[in-house]
A and B are shown apart, each in its own frame.
Chain A
Amino acid sequence: MTAPAPGADARRITLTVNGRRHDVEVETRLTLADCLRHGLGLTGTHLGCEHGVCGACTVLVDGRSARSCLMLAVQANGAAITTVEGLAASDGTLHPLQQAFQAHHGLQCGFCTPGMLITLIEFLGDHPDPDAAAVREAIGGNLCRCTGYQGIVAATLDAARRMRAAP
Chain B
Amino acid sequence: MSEGLIGRRLPRLEDPALLTGRGRFVDDIHIPGTLEAAFVRSPHPHARITRVDATAARRHPGVHAVYAYADLAPHLTANLIPADNRHLAFEANSRPPVLPVDEVCFVGEAVAIVVADSRYVAEDALALVEVDYDPVPGVSDCRAALAPGAPLAHLGAADNVVKTFQTAFGDCDAAFAGAPHVATISLKQHRGSAHSIEGRGVLARPDPVEDRLTVWSSTQGSHRVRNTLVELLRLDEDRVRVIVPDVGGAFGAKHIVYPEEVIVALAARLLGRPVKWIEDRREHFLAAVQERDQYWELEVAADRDGRLRGIRGRMIHDQGAYTLLGMNVPLNASLAMPGPYLLPAYQLDVTVVATNRVGVIPVRGAGYPEGVFAMERVMDSLARDLGLDRAEVRRRNLIPPERIPFDLPLKSRDGTVTRYDSGDFPLCQAKALAAADYAGFPARQETARAEGRYRGIGLANAVKITGRGPFETAIVRIGPSGKVTVHTGAMPMGQGTVTSFAQICADVLGLAPEDVTVVAGDTATVSLGIGGFGSRQTVNAGSSLLLAAREVRAKALAVGALVLEAAAEDLELRGGAVWIKGTDRQLPFAEIARALGGGVGYARPKDVSPGLEATGNFMPPDVTYGNACHVVEVEVDVGTGAVQILRYVVVNDSGKLINPMIVEGQIIGGVAHGIGNALFEWMGYDEGGQPLTTNFGEYLLPTAPVVPEIEIHHVVTPSTVNPLGVKGVGEAGVIPAAAAIIAAVENALEPFGVTLAEAPISPGRLVELMAAGRS
Cβ contacts under 8 Å, A37 to chain B: 27-28
Given the contacts A45-B21, A108-B496, A150 and B710 also touching, CB distance less than 8 Å: yes
Cβ contacts under 8 Å, B195 to chain A: 145
> Nearest A residue to B246 by beta-carbon distance?
A110
Q: Which of B115-123, B317-325, B420-428, B478-486 binds A?
A: B115-123
Q: Using a CB-CB cutoff of 8 Å, which residues 100-144 of chain A contact chain B?
A: 101-103, 105, 107-114, 117, 132-133, 135-137, 139-144
Cβ contacts under 8 Å, B705 to chain A: 133, 136-137, 140
Cβ contacts under 8 Å, B22 to chain A: 44, 85
Interface size classification for chain A: 35 or more
Residue pair B661, A105 in contact (C-beta under 8 Å): yes
Residue pair B21, A42 in contact (C-beta under 8 Å): yes
Name B19's contact: one of A1, A30, A49, A98 (CB within 8 Å).
Answer: A98
Name A111's contact: one of B25, B673, B696 (CB within 8 Å).
Answer: B25
Residue pair A43, B669 in contact (C-beta under 8 Å): no
Question: Is A84 at the interface (CB under 8 A from chain B)?
Answer: yes
Q: How far is the CA of A112 from the CA of B18 in the complex (A)?
A: 10
Residue pair B198, A113 in contact (C-beta under 8 Å): no
Q: Which of B7-15, B541-549, B580-588, B607-615 binds A?
A: B7-15
Q: Using a CB-CB cutoff of 8 Å, which residues 42-57 of chain A contact chain B?
A: 42-51, 53-54, 56
Residue pair B21, A148 in contact (C-beta under 8 Å): no
Interface size classification for chain B: 35 or more
Question: Is B469 at the interface (CB under 8 A from chain A)?
Answer: no
Cβ contacts under 8 Å, A117 to chain B: 19
Q: How far is the CA of A54 from the CA of B12 in the complex (A)?
A: 24
Residue pair A51, B696 in contact (C-beta under 8 Å): yes
> Nearest B residue to A133 by beta-carbon distance?
B705
- Closest approach, in angstroms, between the C-beta of A54 and any C-beta of chain B? 6
Q: Which of B86-94, B97-105, B247-255 binds A?
A: B247-255
Number of cross-chain contacts by CB at 8 Å: 184
- Closest approach, in angstroms, between the C-beta of A19 and any C-beta of chain B? 15
> Nearest B residue to A135 by beta-carbon distance?
B704
Cβ contacts under 8 Å, B774 to chain A: none
Question: Is B697 at the interface (CB under 8 A from chain A)?
Answer: yes
Cβ contacts under 8 Å, A146 to chain B: 249, 494, 665, 669
Q: How far is the CA of A108 from the CA of B334 in the complex (A)?
A: 31
> Nearest A residue to B699 by beta-carbon distance?
A53
Name B197's contact: one of A7, A112, A133 (CB within 8 Å).
Answer: A112
> Nearest A residue to B17 by beta-carbon distance?
A110
Cβ contacts under 8 Å, B117 to chain A: 1, 5
Residue pair B15, A101 in contact (C-beta under 8 Å): yes
Residue pair A44, B23 in contact (C-beta under 8 Å): yes
Question: Is B6 at the interface (CB under 8 A from chain A)?
Answer: no
Residue pair A83, B21 in contact (C-beta under 8 Å): yes
Question: Is A167 at the interface (CB under 8 A from chain B)?
Answer: no
Question: Is B640 at the interface (CB under 8 A from chain A)?
Answer: no
Q: How far is the CA of A140 from the CA of B709 in the complex (A)?
A: 15
Residue pair B661, A102 in contact (C-beta under 8 Å): no
Interface centre among B12, B668, B703 (most CB of A within 10 A): B703
Interface centre among A53, A137, A153 (most CB of B within 10 A): A53
Cβ contacts under 8 Å, A110 to chain B: 14-15, 18-19, 23, 246, 248, 494
Name B707's contact: one of A49, A102, A148 (CB within 8 Å).
Answer: A148
Cβ contacts under 8 Å, B28 to chain A: 37, 43
Given the contacts A43-B28, A148-B707, A143 and B668 also touching, CB distance less than 8 Å: no
Q: How far is the CA of A141 from the CA of B705 in the complex (A)?
A: 10
- Closest approach, in angstroms, between the C-beta of B290 and any C-beta of chain A? 15
Cβ contacts under 8 Å, A27 to chain B: 120
Q: Scoring B residues 268 to 307 as 1 if CB is less than 8 Å from chain A, else 0, what string do you get?
A: 0000000000001100000000000000000000000000
Name B20's contact: one of A1, A44, A108, A151 (CB within 8 Å).
Answer: A44
Residue pair A145, B665 in contact (C-beta under 8 Å): no
> Nearest B residue to A110 by beta-carbon distance?
B18
> Nearest A residue to B124 by beta-carbon distance?
A5
Residue pair B61, A7 in contact (C-beta under 8 Å): yes
Residue pair A113, B18 in contact (C-beta under 8 Å): yes
Q: How far is the CA of A101 from the CA of B709 in the complex (A)?
A: 17
Q: How far is the CA of A35 from the CA of B562 in the complex (A)?
A: 60
Residue pair A147, B118 in contact (C-beta under 8 Å): no
Residue pair A150, B249 in contact (C-beta under 8 Å): no
Residue pair A111, B16 in contact (C-beta under 8 Å): no
Q: Scoring A residues 72 to 102 as 1 if CB is less than 8 Å from chain B, else 0, what string do you get?
A: 0000000000011101100000100010011
Question: Is A22 at the interface (CB under 8 A from chain B)?
Answer: no
Residue pair A50, B280 in contact (C-beta under 8 Å): yes
Residue pair B704, A139 in contact (C-beta under 8 Å): yes
Name B665's contact: one of A94, A108, A137 (CB within 8 Å).
Answer: A108
Given the contacts A48-B281, A145-B195, A148-B672, A101 and B19 also touching, CB distance less than 8 Å: yes
Given the contacts A29-B120, A43-B27, A105 and B18 also touching, CB distance less than 8 Å: no
Cβ contacts under 8 Å, B672 to chain A: 145, 147-149
> Nearest B residue to A143 by beta-carbon distance?
B701
Question: Is B671 at the interface (CB under 8 A from chain A)?
Answer: yes
Known: A109-B494, A136-B704. 15 other contacts (CB 8 A): A1-B36, A5-B117, A43-B28, A44-B23, A46-B25, A48-B199, A51-B697, A53-B697, A105-B12, A107-B19, A109-B249, A111-B249, A137-B705, A150-B668, A150-B709
Chain A to chain B contacts (Cβ below 8 Å), 9 pairs: A1-B30, A5-B62, A5-B121, A38-B30, A43-B30, A109-B249, A111-B197, A111-B198, A149-B707
* Top 10 A-B pairs, shortest CB-CB distance: A44-B21, A109-B494, A111-B248, A110-B18, A148-B672, A53-B696, A43-B28, A148-B668, A84-B21, A108-B494
Interfacial residues, chain B to chain A (CB-CB below 8 A): 11-12, 14-16, 18-25, 27-28, 30, 34, 36, 61-62, 117-118, 120-121, 195-199, 246-249, 251, 280-281, 493-496, 661-662, 664-665, 668-673, 695-697, 701-705, 707, 709-710
Interfacial residues, chain A to chain B (CB-CB below 8 A): 1-2, 5-7, 27, 29-30, 37-38, 41-51, 53-54, 56, 83-85, 87-88, 94, 98, 101-103, 105, 107-114, 117, 132-133, 135-137, 139-153
